[in-house]
């Protein structure tokens, strides 16, 4: 394959094949290097294609919790197949399939024909997805910001993903026990052990998130300065367990918080302290951006955050992430669109997929797509010459 490639070890998603995924019966696409613009009227399948691509990268849908939902309504078997060109390391075939032919839908991941765990696939194709929902990242609740952080975190090398899973499992287990105590079906004998497990994984999760946030903060000011003059006074910091002071609870403090809150937590049937209450604080002149930033400033902050996450993934995975921009460019003013695309392109991103309802002249001029596909009723055609 001809390449005018930058001198990075980059991974490309060269082929995408879908079987009974959302509104697509069967779809086969080759995705070249560069910017691919996908256009089509509403409801034709643009987001579905990006969802499928993101599912290759993340092993689960960024959109719905259950892959069953993304299976074509009348189907009992659905598959997403991606071929990754890893340069010198050759080709990898990644498959995410859902099989409901024998009743309960089962999900299976395959790497080069062998059944594997999610950890064997995640990180192979670092992916950053940007949708209109992200535009409320600053004004929305902490949950959206945690999700943004965790999507980055799970794709980094290391134990981040494992520790997040460990924490959510131990939290579920502890909450389950709290409810049993409330309902009088348990005397809470296991509570100290469950609490310990929660705390151990909570501390690991907070350390990962802290690291991600401080690395994001490194690139953030620079990116933000492309969009707003307030970059220097805009700050990004971590609020572990929602503590706006930024103070990390030690193991002992954690334990005493859990203790102090016990009767309330039993009554509520859920744990009220821990990194499931974490937040990513954004401030301008030390005031919460959520309340003081204009809509323009909030959008600038979101763009800078996304660009910082692209840098972070590239630095740690040694490959530029695949970027998926779903219907967002039209939401930005021309100036922001231009600067955002300029920065995304700058250090040689290898693949960007952009969706839009129509190929407006402005968009074509700004995005300068290398390829142009159109989607109609789940079918894709190329409009490249
Ligand atoms: N599980 C599914 N099975 C079949 N069709 C689906 C499924 N989920 C969504 N769709 C259809 O996909 C279409 C939406 O596709 P989408 O990618 O969101 O469109 P857009 O081009 O606007 O981004 C709708 O027509 C919807 O009915
Ligand atoms: Mg869409």
According to the model, what pLDDT value does residue 349 have? 67
134-150 pLDDT, tens digit per residue, is 999 999 999 999 999 99
So what CATH class is 136-315?
mainly alpha
**Ligand 1 center to residue 44 CA distance, Å?**
7
Give the closest residue (by CA) to ligand 1 atom 25: 43
Q: Which ligand is nearest to the CA of 39?
A: 1
Give the closest residue (by CA) to ligand 1 atom 8: 22
Distances, alpha carbon 62 to alpha carbons 130, 133, 150, 163, in Å: 10, 12, 12, 19
Q: Confidence band (pLDDT; 50, 70, 90) for 311?
A: very high
**Ligand 1 center to residue 223 CA distance, Å?**
34
Convert the chain into a string of H (helix), E (strand) and C (coil). CCCCCCCCCCCEEEEEEEEEECCEEEEEEECCCEEEEEECCCCCCHHHHHHHHHHHHHCCCCCCCCHHHHECCCCCEEEEEEEEECHHHCEEEEEEEEECCCCCCEEEEEECCEECCHHHHCCCCCEEEECHHHHHCCCCCHHHHHHHHHHHHHHCCCCHHHHHHHHHHHHHHHHHHHHHHHCCCCCCCCHHHHHHHHHHHHHHHHHHHHHHHHHHHHHHHHHHCCCCCCHHHEEEEEEHHHCCCCCCCCHHHHHHHHHHCHHHHHHHCCCCCCHHHCEEEEEECCEEHHHHCCHHHHHHHHHHHHHHHHHHHHHHHCCCCEEEEECCHHHCCHHHHHHHHHHHHCCCCCEEEEEECCCCHHHHHHHCCCEEEEEECCEEEECCC
Helices 142-155 and 46-58 cross at an angle (nearest 10°) of: 60
As given in the structure block, the two tokens for residue 167 are 């924490």
Mean pLDDT across the chain, nearest whole number? 93
Asked if 41 contacts 120 with a C-beta cutoff of 8 angstroms, the reply is no
**Ligand 1 center to residue 70 CA distance, Å?**
9
Q: What is the mean pLDDT of residues 238-246?
A: 96
At a CB cut-off of 8 Å and minimum separation 6, what does 272 contact? 261, 264, 265
Name the one residue in this structure whose structure tokens are 């980094």. 156
Q: Which atom of ligand 1 is nearest to the CA of 327?
A: 23
According to the model, what pLDDT value does residue 348 have? 61
Query: How far is 17 from 29, CA to CA, in rounded Å?
Result: 6
Q: Where are the domains of the chain?
A: 1-126+319-385, 136-315
Q: Which atom of ligand 1 is nearest to the CA of 40?
A: 21
**Ligand 2 center to residue 6 CA distance, Å?**
31
| Substitution candidate for ligand 1 out of 43, 66, 328 with most atoms within 8 A of CB | 43
What CATH topology corresponds to 1-126+319-385?
Rossmann fold (3.40.50)
Least-confidence region, from 138-142, 153-157, 279-283, 345-349:
345-349
Query: How far is 253 from 37, CA to CA, in rounded Å?
Result: 51
Distances, alpha carbon 105 to alpha carbons 70, 116, 165, 172, 384, in Å: 12, 17, 22, 23, 38
Protein residues with CB under 6 Å of any ligand 1 atom? 22-23, 40, 42-48, 70-73
**Ligand 1 center to residue 24 CA distance, Å?**
8
Q: Which of 371, 373, 364 is nearest to 330 (CA)?
A: 364
Give the closest residue (by CA) to ligand 1 atom 9: 22
Q: What is the mean pLDDT of residues 112-134?
A: 95
Least-confidence region, from 73-77, 229-233, 301-305, 346-350:
346-350
Q: Is the pLDDT of residue 110 over 70?
A: yes
- Give the phi and the psi of residue 102 in degrees, each rounded to 5: -115, 40
Q: Is the pLDDT of residue 233 over 80?
A: yes
Least-confidence region, from 45-49, 53-57, 86-90, 128-132:
86-90
Distances, alpha carbon 11 to alpha carbons 121, 239, 254, 317, 378, in Å: 13, 34, 42, 10, 27
Q: Which atom of ligand 1 is nearest to the CA of 72?
A: 3
Q: Which atom of ligand 1 is nearest to the CA of 48?
A: 17
Q: Confidence band (pLDDT; 50, 70, 90) for 4?
A: very low
Asked if 25 contacts 10 with a C-beta cutoff of 8 angstroms, the reply is no
According to the model, what pLDDT value does residue 347 have? 66
| Substitution candidate for ligand 1 out of 22, 49, 53 with most atoms within 8 A of CB | 22
| Substitution candidate for ligand 1 out of 21, 23, 67 with most atoms within 8 A of CB | 23
User: How many of the other CB atoms lie within 10 Å of CB of 366?
Assistant: 17
8-19 pLDDT, tens digit per residue, is 568 999 999 999
Q: What is the mean pLDDT of residues 19-24?
A: 96
Q: Which atom of ligand 1 is nearest to the CA of 42?
A: 22
Q: Which ligand is nearest to the CA of 132?
A: 2
Cα separation of the two ends of the chain: 19
**Ligand 1 center to residue 352 CA distance, Å?**
22
Asked if 359 contacts 372 with a C-beta cutoff of 8 angstroms, the reply is yes
Q: Is the pLDDT of residue 7 over 60?
A: no
Q: What is the mean pLDDT of residues 291-307?
A: 94
**Ligand 1 center to residue 49 CA distance, Å?**
10
Query: How far is 341 from 356, CA to CA, in rounded Å?
Result: 14
């Amino acid at each position: 394959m001809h390449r005018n490639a930058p001198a990075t070890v980059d991974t490309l998603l060269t082929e995408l094949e879908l079987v009974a995924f959302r509104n697509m019966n069967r779809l086969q696409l080759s995705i070249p290097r560069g910017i691919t613009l996908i256009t089509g009227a509403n409801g034709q399948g643009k987001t579905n294609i990006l969802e499928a691509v993101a599912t290759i990268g993340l092993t689960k849908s960024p959109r719905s919790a259950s892959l069953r939902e993304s299976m074509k309504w009348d189907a009992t078997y659905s598959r997403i197949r991606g071929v990754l060109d890893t340069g010198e390391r050759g080709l990898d075939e990644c498959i995410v399939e859902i099989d409901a032919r024998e009743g309960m839908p089962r999900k299976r991941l395959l790497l080069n024909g062998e059944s594997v765990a999610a950890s064997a696939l995640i990180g192979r194709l670092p992916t950053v997805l940007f949708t209109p929902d992200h535009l409320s990242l600053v004004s929305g609740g902490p949950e959206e910001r945690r999700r943004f952080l965790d999507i980055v975190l799970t794709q980094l090398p290391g134990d981040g993903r494992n520790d997040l899973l460990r924490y959510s499992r131990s939290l579920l287990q502890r909450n389950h026990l709290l409810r049993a105590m409330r309902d009088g079906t348990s005397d809470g004998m296991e509570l100290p052990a469950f609490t310990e497990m929660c705390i151990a994984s909570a501390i690991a999760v907070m350390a990962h998130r802290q690291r991600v946030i401080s690395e994001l903060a490194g690139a953030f000011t620079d990116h933000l300065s492309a969009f707003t003059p307030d970059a220097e006074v805009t700050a990004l910091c971590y609020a572990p367990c929602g503590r706006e002071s930024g103070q990390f609870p030690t193991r002992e403090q954690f334990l005493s918080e859990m203790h102090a809150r016990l009767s309330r937590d039993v009554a509520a049937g859920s744990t009220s302290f821990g990194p499931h209450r974490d937040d990513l604080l954004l401030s301008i002149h030390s005031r919460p951006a959520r309340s003081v930033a204009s809509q323009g400033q909030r959008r600038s902050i979101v763009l800078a955050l996304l660009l910082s996450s692209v840098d972070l993934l590239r630095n740690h995975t040694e490959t530029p992430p695949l970027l998926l921009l779903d219907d967002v460019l039209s939401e930005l003013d021309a100036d922001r669109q231009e600067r955002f695309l300029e920065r995304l392109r700058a250090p040689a991103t290898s693949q960007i997929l952009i969706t839009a309802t129509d190929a407006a002249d402005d968009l074509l001029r700004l995005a300068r797509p290398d390829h142009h596909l159109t989607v109609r009723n789940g079918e894709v055609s190329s409009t490249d010459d």
